[in-house]
A and B are shown apart, each in its own frame.
Chain A
Amino acid sequence: MRTLLSVLLIGVPVTLILTLVGLSHGMLEDAQNRTRGVGADIIVRPPGTSLLTLSGAPIPEALVNYLGKLPHVTIAVGVVNFPIQTALVAIGVDVRRFDAMSGGFTYLQGGPFNGPDQVIIDQYYAAQQHVHAGGTISLLNRDWKVVGVIAGGKLARIVFPIQVLQNLTSNAGKVSQVYLKLDNPQNTSSVIHDLKARMPDYQIYSMQEFTSLFNVSNIQGLRQFITVIMGVGVIIGFAVVCLSMYMAVLQRTREIGILKSLGGSKIFILQIILLEALLLGVGGSILGILLSFGAYWLIQTLVPASIQMAIVPIWWGIASGITLLGAALGALYPGISAARHDPIEALAYE
Protein backbone atom coordinates (compact mmCIF):
# COMPACT_ATOMS: atom_id res chain seq x y z
CA MET A 1 0.00 0.00 0.00
CA ARG A 2 2.71 2.43 1.03
CA THR A 3 4.74 1.14 -1.89
CA LEU A 4 1.96 1.63 -4.43
CA LEU A 5 1.25 5.13 -3.22
CA SER A 6 4.93 6.03 -3.35
CA VAL A 7 5.33 4.65 -6.85
CA LEU A 8 2.29 6.61 -7.97
CA LEU A 9 3.51 9.83 -6.40
CA ILE A 10 6.94 9.38 -7.92
CA GLY A 11 5.39 8.60 -11.29
CA VAL A 12 3.35 11.80 -11.51
CA PRO A 13 6.22 14.24 -12.03
CA VAL A 14 7.76 11.83 -14.53
CA THR A 15 4.52 11.97 -16.51
CA LEU A 16 4.46 15.72 -16.13
CA ILE A 17 7.96 16.10 -17.52
CA LEU A 18 7.34 13.68 -20.37
CA THR A 19 4.01 15.26 -21.29
CA LEU A 20 5.45 18.73 -21.25
CA VAL A 21 8.43 17.76 -23.35
CA GLY A 22 6.18 15.71 -25.61
CA LEU A 23 3.84 18.64 -26.07
CA SER A 24 6.56 21.11 -26.94
CA HIS A 25 8.14 18.69 -29.40
CA GLY A 26 4.80 17.67 -30.85
CA MET A 27 3.51 21.20 -31.34
CA LEU A 28 6.76 22.40 -32.85
CA GLU A 29 7.11 19.47 -35.22
CA ASP A 30 3.55 19.94 -36.30
CA ALA A 31 3.99 23.65 -36.98
CA GLN A 32 7.25 22.88 -38.76
CA ASN A 33 5.52 20.32 -40.97
CA ARG A 34 2.73 22.60 -41.95
CA THR A 35 5.15 25.42 -42.74
CA ARG A 36 7.25 23.10 -44.90
CA GLY A 37 4.07 22.00 -46.64
CA VAL A 38 3.62 25.50 -48.02
CA GLY A 39 6.27 24.77 -50.64
CA ALA A 40 7.80 28.24 -50.53
CA ASP A 41 11.51 29.09 -50.55
CA ILE A 42 11.43 32.34 -48.60
CA ILE A 43 9.20 33.87 -45.95
CA VAL A 44 8.84 37.61 -45.38
CA ARG A 45 7.51 38.73 -42.02
CA PRO A 46 6.75 42.20 -40.73
CA PRO A 47 9.23 44.02 -38.50
CA GLY A 48 9.28 43.26 -34.80
CA THR A 49 7.24 40.07 -34.64
CA SER A 50 8.09 37.05 -32.60
CA LEU A 51 8.23 33.50 -33.83
CA LEU A 52 4.96 31.99 -32.77
CA THR A 53 2.73 34.92 -32.05
CA LEU A 54 1.85 36.56 -35.28
CA SER A 55 -1.48 38.27 -35.60
CA GLY A 56 -2.61 41.42 -37.26
CA ALA A 57 -1.84 42.14 -40.86
CA PRO A 58 0.51 45.06 -41.33
CA ILE A 59 1.86 44.24 -44.79
CA PRO A 60 0.05 46.00 -47.69
CA GLU A 61 -0.95 43.76 -50.56
CA ALA A 62 0.86 46.10 -52.90
CA LEU A 63 4.10 44.80 -51.39
CA VAL A 64 3.06 41.26 -52.22
CA ASN A 65 2.62 42.21 -55.86
CA TYR A 66 5.93 44.05 -55.80
CA LEU A 67 7.72 41.01 -54.33
CA GLY A 68 6.10 38.77 -56.93
CA LYS A 69 7.72 40.77 -59.70
CA LEU A 70 11.26 40.68 -58.35
CA PRO A 71 13.86 38.68 -60.31
CA HIS A 72 13.83 34.90 -59.67
CA VAL A 73 10.53 35.13 -57.74
CA THR A 74 7.92 33.06 -59.58
CA ILE A 75 5.06 33.55 -57.17
CA ALA A 76 4.32 35.51 -53.99
CA VAL A 77 1.47 34.53 -51.69
CA GLY A 78 0.30 36.75 -48.87
CA VAL A 79 -1.62 35.17 -45.99
CA VAL A 80 -3.58 36.54 -43.05
CA ASN A 81 -3.06 34.78 -39.72
CA PHE A 82 -5.80 34.72 -37.16
CA PRO A 83 -5.16 32.86 -33.92
CA ILE A 84 -8.21 30.95 -32.76
CA GLN A 85 -6.53 29.37 -29.76
CA THR A 86 -2.97 29.43 -28.52
CA ALA A 87 -1.78 26.88 -31.01
CA LEU A 88 -4.62 26.87 -33.48
CA VAL A 89 -4.37 29.50 -36.19
CA ALA A 90 -6.81 30.15 -39.02
CA ILE A 91 -5.20 31.37 -42.20
CA GLY A 92 -6.74 33.42 -44.97
CA VAL A 93 -5.22 32.79 -48.35
CA ASP A 94 -5.97 33.12 -52.06
CA VAL A 95 -6.38 29.41 -52.67
CA ARG A 96 -5.64 29.54 -56.39
CA ARG A 97 -2.31 31.25 -55.88
CA PHE A 98 -1.50 28.98 -52.97
CA ASP A 99 -2.23 25.94 -55.13
CA ALA A 100 0.23 27.25 -57.70
CA MET A 101 2.89 27.52 -55.03
CA SER A 102 2.30 24.35 -53.05
CA GLY A 103 0.84 21.94 -55.58
CA GLY A 104 -2.58 22.28 -54.03
CA PHE A 105 -4.46 20.88 -51.07
CA THR A 106 -5.35 17.20 -51.04
CA TYR A 107 -9.09 17.06 -50.52
CA LEU A 108 -10.20 14.03 -48.49
CA GLN A 109 -13.83 15.20 -48.63
CA GLY A 110 -15.55 17.93 -50.61
CA GLY A 111 -13.51 20.45 -52.58
CA PRO A 112 -12.38 24.08 -52.91
CA PHE A 113 -14.39 27.21 -52.10
CA ASN A 114 -17.43 27.76 -54.35
CA GLY A 115 -19.56 30.18 -52.43
CA PRO A 116 -19.74 32.56 -49.45
CA ASP A 117 -19.46 31.66 -45.77
CA GLN A 118 -17.32 28.62 -46.42
CA VAL A 119 -14.31 27.20 -44.64
CA ILE A 120 -11.81 24.45 -45.41
CA ILE A 121 -10.45 22.43 -42.50
CA ASP A 122 -7.98 19.60 -42.15
CA GLN A 123 -8.81 16.07 -41.09
CA TYR A 124 -7.59 16.57 -37.48
CA TYR A 125 -9.73 19.59 -36.85
CA ALA A 126 -12.63 17.82 -38.54
CA ALA A 127 -12.13 14.86 -36.19
CA GLN A 128 -11.88 17.10 -33.16
CA GLN A 129 -15.07 18.96 -34.13
CA HIS A 130 -16.84 15.79 -35.31
CA VAL A 131 -17.75 17.42 -38.60
CA HIS A 132 -17.66 16.31 -42.25
CA ALA A 133 -17.66 18.15 -45.55
CA GLY A 134 -21.10 19.68 -45.99
CA GLY A 135 -21.51 20.17 -42.27
CA THR A 136 -21.41 23.41 -40.34
CA ILE A 137 -18.98 24.66 -37.72
CA SER A 138 -18.97 27.73 -35.58
CA LEU A 139 -15.86 29.89 -35.67
CA LEU A 140 -15.25 33.57 -34.91
CA ASN A 141 -18.80 33.85 -33.61
CA ARG A 142 -20.39 32.71 -36.87
CA ASP A 143 -21.45 29.52 -38.59
CA TRP A 144 -19.52 28.33 -41.60
CA LYS A 145 -20.15 25.58 -44.10
CA VAL A 146 -17.30 23.08 -44.29
CA VAL A 147 -16.78 22.90 -48.03
CA GLY A 148 -13.69 20.70 -47.99
CA VAL A 149 -11.68 18.53 -45.61
CA ILE A 150 -7.98 18.45 -46.54
CA ALA A 151 -5.10 16.21 -45.57
CA GLY A 152 -3.20 17.78 -42.67
CA GLY A 153 0.34 19.06 -42.91
CA LYS A 154 -0.13 21.95 -45.31
CA LEU A 155 -0.25 25.61 -44.25
CA ALA A 156 -3.02 25.47 -41.64
CA ARG A 157 -5.81 23.49 -40.10
CA ILE A 158 -8.42 26.15 -40.85
CA VAL A 159 -8.37 27.96 -44.16
CA PHE A 160 -10.58 30.90 -45.21
CA PRO A 161 -10.61 32.91 -48.40
CA ILE A 162 -8.23 35.77 -47.74
CA GLN A 163 -10.85 38.54 -47.98
CA VAL A 164 -12.94 36.92 -45.27
CA LEU A 165 -10.23 37.27 -42.68
CA GLN A 166 -9.16 40.67 -43.98
CA ASN A 167 -12.70 41.96 -43.51
CA LEU A 168 -13.21 40.26 -40.17
CA THR A 169 -10.04 41.79 -38.81
CA SER A 170 -10.59 45.16 -40.52
CA ASN A 171 -7.41 44.70 -42.45
CA ALA A 172 -8.69 45.10 -45.99
CA GLY A 173 -5.83 45.04 -48.45
CA LYS A 174 -3.28 43.86 -45.92
CA VAL A 175 -1.58 40.54 -45.07
CA SER A 176 0.33 39.08 -42.11
CA GLN A 177 3.20 37.45 -43.93
CA VAL A 178 4.33 36.62 -47.43
CA TYR A 179 5.64 33.36 -48.91
CA LEU A 180 7.87 33.50 -51.98
CA LYS A 181 8.62 30.71 -54.41
CA LEU A 182 11.70 31.04 -56.63
CA ASP A 183 12.51 29.79 -60.09
CA ASN A 184 15.32 27.76 -58.57
CA PRO A 185 15.90 27.07 -54.86
CA GLN A 186 19.63 27.64 -55.40
CA ASN A 187 18.92 31.34 -55.80
CA THR A 188 17.52 31.54 -52.29
CA SER A 189 20.46 33.17 -50.56
CA SER A 190 21.10 35.72 -53.26
CA VAL A 191 17.43 36.72 -53.32
CA ILE A 192 17.39 37.02 -49.52
CA HIS A 193 20.48 39.18 -49.69
CA ASP A 194 18.78 41.38 -52.25
CA LEU A 195 15.54 41.59 -50.21
CA LYS A 196 17.33 42.50 -47.01
CA ALA A 197 18.97 45.38 -48.80
CA ARG A 198 15.61 46.61 -50.10
CA MET A 199 13.61 46.12 -46.89
CA PRO A 200 16.00 46.29 -43.94
CA ASP A 201 13.26 46.32 -41.29
CA TYR A 202 11.55 43.15 -42.43
CA GLN A 203 12.37 39.66 -41.18
CA ILE A 204 13.37 37.57 -44.14
CA TYR A 205 14.24 33.92 -43.82
CA SER A 206 14.79 30.99 -46.09
CA MET A 207 12.15 28.39 -45.24
CA GLN A 208 14.88 26.07 -44.04
CA GLU A 209 16.16 28.71 -41.64
CA PHE A 210 12.66 29.60 -40.55
CA THR A 211 11.60 26.04 -39.72
CA SER A 212 14.84 25.44 -37.87
CA LEU A 213 13.76 28.24 -35.53
CA PHE A 214 10.93 25.97 -34.42
CA ASN A 215 13.05 24.61 -31.63
CA VAL A 216 12.47 24.16 -27.94
CA SER A 217 15.36 26.41 -27.04
CA ASN A 218 13.92 29.24 -29.13
CA ILE A 219 10.67 29.42 -27.29
CA GLN A 220 10.93 31.92 -24.52
CA GLY A 221 10.35 30.49 -21.08
CA LEU A 222 9.76 26.93 -22.21
CA ARG A 223 13.22 25.72 -21.32
CA GLN A 224 13.06 27.36 -17.94
CA PHE A 225 9.61 25.91 -17.40
CA ILE A 226 10.83 22.40 -18.18
CA THR A 227 13.80 22.94 -15.87
CA VAL A 228 11.46 24.04 -13.09
CA ILE A 229 9.26 20.96 -13.59
CA MET A 230 12.37 18.80 -13.51
CA GLY A 231 13.38 20.45 -10.26
CA VAL A 232 9.91 19.78 -8.90
CA GLY A 233 10.32 16.17 -10.03
CA VAL A 234 13.56 15.81 -8.09
CA ILE A 235 12.03 17.37 -5.00
CA ILE A 236 8.88 15.26 -5.14
CA GLY A 237 10.92 12.11 -5.76
CA PHE A 238 13.18 13.10 -2.90
CA ALA A 239 10.37 13.93 -0.49
CA VAL A 240 8.22 10.92 -1.34
CA VAL A 241 11.10 8.48 -1.08
CA CYS A 242 12.42 10.13 2.07
CA LEU A 243 9.04 9.93 3.79
CA SER A 244 8.20 6.50 2.49
CA MET A 245 11.55 5.00 3.41
CA TYR A 246 11.52 6.74 6.75
CA MET A 247 8.22 5.04 7.50
CA ALA A 248 9.56 1.77 6.16
CA VAL A 249 12.57 2.02 8.42
CA LEU A 250 10.33 2.71 11.42
CA GLN A 251 8.04 -0.17 10.53
CA ARG A 252 10.98 -2.49 10.18
CA THR A 253 13.05 -1.38 13.13
CA ARG A 254 12.85 -4.88 14.53
CA GLU A 255 13.92 -6.48 11.26
CA ILE A 256 16.86 -4.13 11.09
CA GLY A 257 17.77 -5.20 14.61
CA ILE A 258 17.58 -8.84 13.52
CA LEU A 259 19.89 -8.21 10.56
CA LYS A 260 22.31 -6.41 12.84
CA SER A 261 22.27 -9.24 15.38
CA LEU A 262 23.19 -11.57 12.53
CA GLY A 263 26.22 -9.40 11.84
CA GLY A 264 24.79 -7.14 9.14
CA SER A 265 27.05 -4.10 8.85
CA LYS A 266 25.99 -0.48 8.55
CA ILE A 267 26.83 -0.51 4.86
CA PHE A 268 24.71 -3.64 4.42
CA ILE A 269 21.67 -1.99 6.03
CA LEU A 270 22.20 1.20 4.04
CA GLN A 271 22.44 -0.79 0.83
CA ILE A 272 19.14 -2.52 1.50
CA ILE A 273 17.36 0.79 2.09
CA LEU A 274 18.96 2.37 -1.00
CA LEU A 275 18.07 -0.63 -3.10
CA GLU A 276 14.46 -0.48 -2.05
CA ALA A 277 14.35 3.26 -2.74
CA LEU A 278 15.83 2.74 -6.17
CA LEU A 279 13.22 0.08 -6.87
CA LEU A 280 10.56 2.62 -5.90
CA GLY A 281 12.24 5.08 -8.26
CA VAL A 282 12.35 2.58 -11.11
CA GLY A 283 8.72 1.64 -10.50
CA GLY A 284 7.74 5.31 -10.46
CA SER A 285 9.65 5.99 -13.67
CA ILE A 286 8.04 3.09 -15.48
CA LEU A 287 4.60 4.10 -14.27
CA GLY A 288 5.31 7.71 -15.26
CA ILE A 289 6.30 6.63 -18.77
CA LEU A 290 3.18 4.49 -19.09
CA LEU A 291 1.02 7.37 -17.89
CA SER A 292 2.61 9.66 -20.48
CA PHE A 293 1.35 7.25 -23.14
CA GLY A 294 -2.05 7.64 -21.52
CA ALA A 295 -1.78 11.41 -21.86
CA TYR A 296 -0.69 10.96 -25.47
CA TRP A 297 -3.68 8.79 -26.20
CA LEU A 298 -6.08 11.19 -24.49
CA ILE A 299 -4.77 14.16 -26.47
CA GLN A 300 -4.91 12.28 -29.75
CA THR A 301 -8.44 11.16 -29.10
CA LEU A 302 -9.90 14.33 -27.68
CA VAL A 303 -8.09 17.30 -29.20
CA PRO A 304 -5.98 16.11 -32.15
CA ALA A 305 -6.07 19.54 -33.81
CA SER A 306 -5.47 21.90 -30.90
CA ILE A 307 -2.67 20.03 -29.20
CA GLN A 308 -0.04 17.67 -30.51
CA MET A 309 2.10 15.52 -28.32
CA ALA A 310 5.13 13.52 -29.36
CA ILE A 311 6.64 10.56 -27.53
CA VAL A 312 10.27 11.47 -26.97
CA PRO A 313 12.11 8.34 -25.73
CA ILE A 314 15.35 10.20 -25.03
CA TRP A 315 13.54 11.96 -22.23
CA TRP A 316 12.54 8.66 -20.64
CA GLY A 317 16.16 8.33 -19.65
CA ILE A 318 16.45 11.93 -18.49
CA ALA A 319 13.24 11.86 -16.45
CA SER A 320 14.09 8.46 -14.93
CA GLY A 321 17.61 9.57 -14.11
CA ILE A 322 16.29 12.62 -12.32
CA THR A 323 13.77 10.51 -10.43
CA LEU A 324 16.38 7.98 -9.36
CA LEU A 325 18.63 10.78 -8.20
CA GLY A 326 15.79 12.14 -6.07
CA ALA A 327 15.05 8.66 -4.75
CA ALA A 328 18.66 7.96 -3.83
CA LEU A 329 18.98 11.30 -2.05
CA GLY A 330 15.67 10.71 -0.28
CA ALA A 331 16.78 7.30 0.95
CA LEU A 332 20.00 8.63 2.39
CA TYR A 333 18.64 10.00 5.66
CA PRO A 334 16.36 7.06 6.49
CA GLY A 335 19.10 4.68 5.38
CA ILE A 336 21.73 6.25 7.59
CA SER A 337 19.39 6.41 10.55
CA ALA A 338 18.56 2.72 10.03
CA ALA A 339 22.24 1.85 9.80
CA ARG A 340 22.84 3.64 13.09
CA HIS A 341 20.10 1.84 15.00
CA ASP A 342 21.28 0.28 18.20
CA PRO A 343 20.66 -3.46 17.70
CA ILE A 344 19.37 -4.09 21.22
CA GLU A 345 16.92 -1.21 21.14
CA ALA A 346 15.83 -2.23 17.65
CA LEU A 347 15.19 -5.79 18.81
CA ALA A 348 13.17 -4.54 21.77
CA TYR A 349 11.03 -2.34 19.46
CA GLU A 350 7.39 -3.34 19.29
Chain B
Amino acid sequence: MNKGPIIEVRDLRKVYRMGEVEVPALRGVDLRVEAGEFLSIVGPSGSGKSTLFHIIGGLAPATSGQVKVAGEDLAAMSDAGRTRLRRRSVGFVFQKFNLLPNLTARDNIAVARFIAGQNSGGFSPQFEEVLRLLGIAHRLDHKPHALSGGEQQRVAIARAIVNHPAILLADEPTGNLDTENSKAVLEVLADLNRRLGQTILMITHNPEAAGYGHRIVQMRDGRVVE
Protein backbone atom coordinates (compact mmCIF):
# COMPACT_ATOMS: atom_id res chain seq x y z
CA MET B 1 0.00 0.00 0.00
CA ASN B 2 0.86 3.63 -0.57
CA LYS B 3 2.54 4.80 2.63
CA GLY B 4 2.54 8.58 2.08
CA PRO B 5 -0.36 10.95 2.80
CA ILE B 6 -3.44 10.54 0.64
CA ILE B 7 -3.71 14.30 0.22
CA GLU B 8 -0.73 16.59 0.10
CA VAL B 9 -1.21 20.29 -0.58
CA ARG B 10 1.68 22.79 -0.66
CA ASP B 11 1.48 26.54 -1.08
CA LEU B 12 -1.78 26.23 -2.99
CA ARG B 13 -3.06 29.48 -4.47
CA LYS B 14 -6.25 30.23 -6.31
CA VAL B 15 -7.13 33.57 -7.80
CA TYR B 16 -10.55 34.20 -9.35
CA ARG B 17 -10.50 36.76 -12.08
CA MET B 18 -13.69 38.75 -12.41
CA GLY B 19 -13.07 41.09 -15.30
CA GLU B 20 -10.41 43.50 -14.11
CA VAL B 21 -10.65 42.46 -10.47
CA GLU B 22 -8.62 39.61 -9.04
CA VAL B 23 -10.10 37.79 -6.06
CA PRO B 24 -7.56 35.72 -4.17
CA ALA B 25 -9.55 32.82 -2.69
CA LEU B 26 -6.59 30.73 -1.52
CA ARG B 27 -3.34 32.39 -0.49
CA GLY B 28 -0.95 29.55 0.11
CA VAL B 29 -2.63 26.56 1.70
CA ASP B 30 -0.57 23.70 3.17
CA LEU B 31 -2.39 20.53 4.19
CA ARG B 32 -1.61 16.84 4.70
CA VAL B 33 -4.25 14.22 5.17
CA GLU B 34 -3.43 10.59 5.97
CA ALA B 35 -5.46 7.72 4.52
CA GLY B 36 -8.31 6.79 6.87
CA GLU B 37 -8.52 10.19 8.49
CA PHE B 38 -11.79 12.00 9.20
CA LEU B 39 -10.97 15.68 8.93
CA SER B 40 -13.26 18.60 9.78
CA ILE B 41 -12.63 21.96 8.16
CA VAL B 42 -14.11 25.06 9.73
CA GLY B 43 -13.74 28.76 9.10
CA PRO B 44 -15.70 31.90 8.39
CA SER B 45 -17.67 32.38 5.22
CA GLY B 46 -15.46 33.28 2.28
CA SER B 47 -12.32 31.84 3.84
CA GLY B 48 -11.82 29.50 0.85
CA LYS B 49 -13.04 26.18 2.21
CA SER B 50 -15.18 25.27 -0.80
CA THR B 51 -12.53 26.49 -3.20
CA LEU B 52 -10.03 24.15 -1.56
CA PHE B 53 -12.44 21.24 -2.00
CA HIS B 54 -13.06 22.09 -5.63
CA ILE B 55 -9.36 21.96 -6.34
CA ILE B 56 -8.62 18.81 -4.33
CA GLY B 57 -11.65 17.14 -5.96
CA GLY B 58 -10.63 18.11 -9.47
CA LEU B 59 -13.62 20.35 -10.17
CA ALA B 60 -11.38 23.37 -10.78
CA PRO B 61 -7.71 23.94 -11.57
CA ALA B 62 -5.35 25.62 -9.10
CA THR B 63 -3.64 28.87 -9.98
CA SER B 64 -0.33 27.70 -8.48
CA GLY B 65 1.07 25.35 -5.88
CA GLN B 66 1.26 21.61 -5.49
CA VAL B 67 -1.67 19.26 -5.01
CA LYS B 68 -1.36 15.49 -4.80
CA VAL B 69 -4.37 13.24 -4.34
CA ALA B 70 -4.00 9.47 -4.11
CA GLY B 71 -0.57 9.69 -5.67
CA GLU B 72 -1.64 11.84 -8.61
CA ASP B 73 -0.28 15.31 -9.26
CA LEU B 74 -3.19 17.63 -9.97
CA ALA B 75 -1.06 20.63 -10.88
CA ALA B 76 -0.07 18.98 -14.15
CA MET B 77 -3.48 17.65 -14.87
CA SER B 78 -5.59 18.50 -17.91
CA ASP B 79 -9.33 18.91 -17.90
CA ALA B 80 -9.74 15.31 -19.05
CA GLY B 81 -7.35 14.19 -16.29
CA ARG B 82 -9.45 15.94 -13.64
CA THR B 83 -12.57 14.32 -15.08
CA ARG B 84 -10.91 10.94 -14.66
CA LEU B 85 -9.89 11.83 -11.10
CA ARG B 86 -13.49 12.74 -10.20
CA ARG B 87 -14.71 9.52 -11.71
CA ARG B 88 -12.24 7.26 -9.89
CA SER B 89 -10.73 8.82 -6.82
CA VAL B 90 -13.13 11.42 -5.43
CA GLY B 91 -16.65 11.33 -4.03
CA PHE B 92 -18.54 14.56 -3.46
CA VAL B 93 -21.34 15.29 -1.02
CA PHE B 94 -22.88 18.74 -1.24
CA GLN B 95 -25.02 20.85 1.02
CA LYS B 96 -27.83 20.74 -1.55
CA PHE B 97 -27.75 16.92 -1.99
CA ASN B 98 -27.60 17.34 -5.80
CA LEU B 99 -29.51 14.21 -6.73
CA LEU B 100 -30.93 13.89 -10.23
CA PRO B 101 -34.63 14.66 -9.64
CA ASN B 102 -36.07 12.38 -12.31
CA LEU B 103 -34.26 9.25 -11.18
CA THR B 104 -34.96 6.96 -8.26
CA ALA B 105 -32.43 6.75 -5.45
CA ARG B 106 -31.21 3.46 -6.89
CA ASP B 107 -30.72 4.96 -10.35
CA ASN B 108 -28.97 8.00 -8.91
CA ILE B 109 -26.42 5.65 -7.42
CA ALA B 110 -26.32 3.54 -10.59
CA VAL B 111 -25.51 6.61 -12.71
CA ALA B 112 -22.27 7.06 -10.80
CA ARG B 113 -21.38 3.43 -11.43
CA PHE B 114 -22.31 3.78 -15.08
CA ILE B 115 -20.10 6.82 -15.52
CA ALA B 116 -17.25 4.89 -13.89
CA GLY B 117 -17.83 2.13 -16.44
CA GLN B 118 -19.28 -0.42 -14.03
CA ASN B 119 -22.75 -1.03 -15.30
CA SER B 120 -22.87 -4.75 -14.64
CA GLY B 121 -25.97 -5.91 -12.79
CA GLY B 122 -27.05 -4.85 -9.32
CA PHE B 123 -25.06 -3.74 -6.29
CA SER B 124 -22.54 -6.04 -4.64
CA PRO B 125 -23.47 -7.70 -1.32
CA GLN B 126 -20.92 -5.46 0.40
CA PHE B 127 -22.56 -2.37 -1.01
CA GLU B 128 -26.02 -3.66 -0.04
CA GLU B 129 -24.58 -3.84 3.47
CA VAL B 130 -23.43 -0.23 3.18
CA LEU B 131 -26.95 0.77 2.06
CA ARG B 132 -28.37 -0.87 5.19
CA LEU B 133 -25.75 0.93 7.27
CA LEU B 134 -26.91 4.19 5.66
CA GLY B 135 -30.51 3.25 6.47
CA ILE B 136 -31.76 3.73 2.92
CA ALA B 137 -31.91 0.11 1.69
CA HIS B 138 -35.72 0.16 1.82
CA ARG B 139 -36.06 3.60 0.18
CA LEU B 140 -34.14 2.95 -3.04
CA ASP B 141 -37.12 2.92 -5.39
CA HIS B 142 -38.27 6.38 -4.46
CA LYS B 143 -37.43 9.56 -6.29
CA PRO B 144 -35.68 12.32 -4.36
CA HIS B 145 -38.83 14.41 -3.82
CA ALA B 146 -40.37 11.47 -1.94
CA LEU B 147 -37.42 11.26 0.45
CA SER B 148 -36.67 13.36 3.52
CA GLY B 149 -33.66 15.67 3.42
CA GLY B 150 -31.72 13.27 5.62
CA GLU B 151 -32.55 10.36 3.35
CA GLN B 152 -31.59 12.33 0.27
CA GLN B 153 -28.25 13.22 1.80
CA ARG B 154 -27.61 9.57 2.71
CA VAL B 155 -28.43 8.58 -0.89
CA ALA B 156 -25.94 11.21 -2.02
CA ILE B 157 -23.36 9.69 0.35
CA ALA B 158 -24.06 6.24 -1.09
CA ARG B 159 -23.61 7.62 -4.58
CA ALA B 160 -20.36 9.30 -3.57
CA ILE B 161 -18.77 6.11 -2.26
CA VAL B 162 -20.21 3.52 -4.67
CA ASN B 163 -17.03 3.57 -6.75
CA HIS B 164 -14.75 3.24 -3.69
CA PRO B 165 -13.12 6.68 -3.97
CA ALA B 166 -9.85 7.38 -2.20
CA ILE B 167 -11.37 10.47 -0.59
CA LEU B 168 -14.86 11.65 0.27
CA LEU B 169 -15.33 15.42 0.23
CA ALA B 170 -18.42 16.65 2.08
CA ASP B 171 -19.11 20.40 1.79
CA GLU B 172 -21.49 21.32 4.63
CA PRO B 173 -23.39 18.02 4.34
CA THR B 174 -25.69 18.94 7.23
CA GLY B 175 -26.19 22.57 6.22
CA ASN B 176 -29.73 21.91 4.97
CA LEU B 177 -30.78 19.39 7.63
CA ASP B 178 -32.52 19.64 10.99
CA THR B 179 -30.74 18.46 14.15
CA GLU B 180 -32.08 14.93 14.02
CA ASN B 181 -31.22 14.34 10.36
CA SER B 182 -27.86 16.07 10.82
CA LYS B 183 -27.04 13.66 13.59
CA ALA B 184 -28.01 10.67 11.45
CA VAL B 185 -25.82 11.83 8.57
CA LEU B 186 -22.86 12.57 10.83
CA GLU B 187 -23.19 9.16 12.50
CA VAL B 188 -23.22 7.55 9.07
CA LEU B 189 -20.06 9.41 8.03
CA ALA B 190 -18.31 8.43 11.22
CA ASP B 191 -19.44 4.85 10.72
CA LEU B 192 -18.14 4.73 7.15
CA ASN B 193 -14.84 6.10 8.35
CA ARG B 194 -14.60 3.60 11.22
CA ARG B 195 -15.82 0.47 9.43
CA LEU B 196 -14.56 0.96 5.89
CA GLY B 197 -11.61 3.17 6.64
CA GLN B 198 -13.04 5.77 4.28
CA THR B 199 -10.97 8.97 4.22
CA ILE B 200 -13.36 11.89 4.77
CA LEU B 201 -12.93 15.65 4.62
CA MET B 202 -15.92 17.61 5.86
CA ILE B 203 -16.57 21.33 5.78
CA THR B 204 -18.92 22.54 8.49
CA HIS B 205 -20.00 25.67 10.32
CA ASN B 206 -21.30 23.68 13.24
CA PRO B 207 -18.77 23.05 16.07
CA GLU B 208 -20.72 20.03 17.22
CA ALA B 209 -20.54 18.53 13.72
CA ALA B 210 -16.85 19.37 13.52
CA GLY B 211 -16.40 17.30 16.67
CA TYR B 212 -17.07 14.13 14.72
CA GLY B 213 -13.72 14.53 12.95
CA HIS B 214 -10.42 13.20 14.34
CA ARG B 215 -8.87 16.54 13.63
CA ILE B 216 -10.22 20.03 13.02
CA VAL B 217 -8.56 22.35 10.53
CA GLN B 218 -9.30 26.04 10.75
CA MET B 219 -9.24 28.28 7.67
CA ARG B 220 -9.14 32.06 7.50
CA ASP B 221 -8.55 34.43 4.58
CA GLY B 222 -7.46 31.71 2.22
CA ARG B 223 -5.01 30.05 4.58
CA VAL B 224 -5.00 27.19 7.06
CA VAL B 225 -4.53 28.46 10.62
CA GLU B 226 -4.44 25.28 12.65
Contact = CB atoms under 8 A, between A and B. Distances in A.
Interface in B76-108: 80, 83-88, 92, 94, 98-101
B80 A261 contact: no
Contact of A264 (B54, B88, B99, B115): B115
A263 interface: yes
Contacts of B54: 344
B59 A263 contact: no
Highest count of chain B CB atoms <10 Å: which of A254, A255, A261, A264: A261
A261 B86 contact: yes
Nearest to B91: A262
Contacts of B98: 254, 257-258, 261, 347
A330 interface: no
A262 B60 contact: no
**Prevailing SS type, chain A contact patch:** helix
B58 to A, nearest CB: 9
Interface residues of A, number: 17
B100 A255 contact: yes
A268 interface: yes
B107 to A, nearest CB: 13
A266 B111 CA distance: 16
Nearest to B97: A258
A284 interface: no
A279 to B, nearest CB: 15
A343 B111 contact: no
Given A344-B54, A347-B98, A262 B86 contact: yes
Contacts of A268: 115
B83 A265 contact: yes
Interface residues of B, number: 22
A254 B88 CA distance: 21
Interface string A257-291: 11111111110100000000000000000000000
Contact of B83 (A255, A258, A263, A347): A263
Highest count of chain B CB atoms <10 Å: which of A258, A262, A265, A344: A262
B31 to A, nearest CB: 20
B100 A263 contact: no
Nearest to A257: B98
B59 A344 contact: yes
B115 A259 contact: yes
Nearest to A340: B79
B111 A262 contact: yes
B133 interface: no
Interface string A307-350: 00000000000000000000000000000000000111001000
A268 B80 CA distance: 12
Given A263-B115, A263-B116, A344 B83 contact: no
A343 B115 contact: no
A254 B60 CA distance: 16
Contacts of B115: 259, 262-264, 268
Contact of B92 (A254, A255, A261, A342): A261
B111 A259 contact: yes
B59 A343 contact: yes
Interface in B47-90: 54, 57, 59-60, 80, 83-88
B86 A258 contact: no
A342 B83 CA distance: 12
Nearest to B50: A344
B112 interface: yes
A342 B58 CA distance: 12
Contacts of B88: 263
Given A344-B54, A344-B60, A262 B94 contact: no
Contacts of A261: 57, 59, 86, 92, 98
B59 A262 contact: no
A236 B98 CA distance: 35
A258 B111 CA distance: 10
A255 to B, nearest CB: 6
B176 to A, nearest CB: 14
Contacts of B83: 260, 263-266
- Name the 6 nearest CB pairs between A and B, nearest first: A263-B87, A263-B86, A262-B112, A258-B98, A265-B83, A343-B59
Given A261-B57, A263-B85, A344-B59, 13 more contacts: A255-B100, A257-B98, A258-B99, A259-B115, A261-B59, A261-B86, A262-B92, A263-B83, A263-B86, A263-B87, A263-B115, A265-B80, A343-B60
